[in-house]
Amino acid sequence: MFNSMKILDIKNLSIPEIKVIKFARFCDDRGYFTEQFRKSQLLEDPEIYFLNDVEFMQANQSSSKKGVIRGLHFQWNPNMGKLVRTLSGHMVDLVLDIREGSPTQGKIVGYDMPANNDRKYDEWIWVPEGFAHGNYFPESGMIEYMCSSEYSPQCEAGISPLSKDLDWSLCDPKLKKGFDEIQEYGAIISDKDRDAPSFNDWMEDERSKNFIYTKSENKGYQHE
């Protein structure tokens, strides 16, 4: 039997710290088998250096109806990175750079992640610390995400995904159009997310100083 996670491809999105990890499924006439996560395998792959120092502390699962928008969420003390994939249905992941001083500060990107049991691969998207995370659902769906720290309700916040000051210029226009259409036809969104601060209001909050962009000497630009 296949006994190792097989990485097929790793790509950067238009914000390069956001990574998509494609891994193999092994298919036959019964269906498929895959290892979606094996820590030792990720540590041995030099292309996945960005996870080398990450210890996943919590795993979550959520189900959303068609037309749902969630996010944009983040936390500090401890900071949290998320490894996210779609289990069923159709999810579009949304990631916003909230690092003060970043060249992509205030920019939001989307990644289309429909589930498909017939293809020979699946995907994770890695959302590091220093980014706000959310998603929207063109169809009902279920997702899971592994977190690099435990949930800290006293140190969480959000930015409204409906905020008019988000910069969508790096996002695929088709995904932005899908987001706008969900709003037009009546998005399902919590009061907490709808009424969250705008991006500019958050950046004026003293707590935004928990996410500062710095230059790494050996891996280009990073955050701390």
Query: In order along the chain (224 residues), what is the average pLDDT of each group of 10 residues?
Result: 72 96 82 73 77 89 97 95 96 98 97 91 93 98 95 94 97 98 95 97 96 65 36
Helix (H, G, I), strand (E, B) or coil at 139: strand
**In the annotation, is 111 catalytic?**
no
Q: What is the pLDDT of residue 213?
A: 95
State residue 169 phi and psi, 5-degree precision: -65, -25
* Token representation of residue 130: 């220093």
Q: What is the pLDDT of residue 34?
A: 66
Q: What is the pLDDT of residue 115?
A: 94
Q: What is the pLDDT of residue 8?
A: 84
Report strand pairing: 69-75 vs 156-158: antiparallel
**In the annotation, is 73 catalytic?**
yes
- Classify the C-alpha dihedral 137-140-143-149 as positive or negative: positive
Predicted TM-score (pTM) of this structure? 0.90
Q: Which of 90, 111, 133, 145 is catalytic?
A: 145
Q: What is the pLDDT of residue 80?
A: 95
Helix (H, G, I), strand (E, B) or coil at 124: strand
Q: Which of 73, 90, 133, 223 is catalytic?
A: 73
Q: What is the pLDDT of residue 26?
A: 79
Q: What is the pLDDT of residue 220?
A: 38
How far from the centroid of its chain's Cα atoms is residue 28's Cα?
31
Pick the CATH number of 7-211 from 2.60.120.10, 3.40.640.10, 2.40.110.10, 1.20.58.1610: 2.60.120.10
Q: What is the pLDDT of residue 122?
A: 86
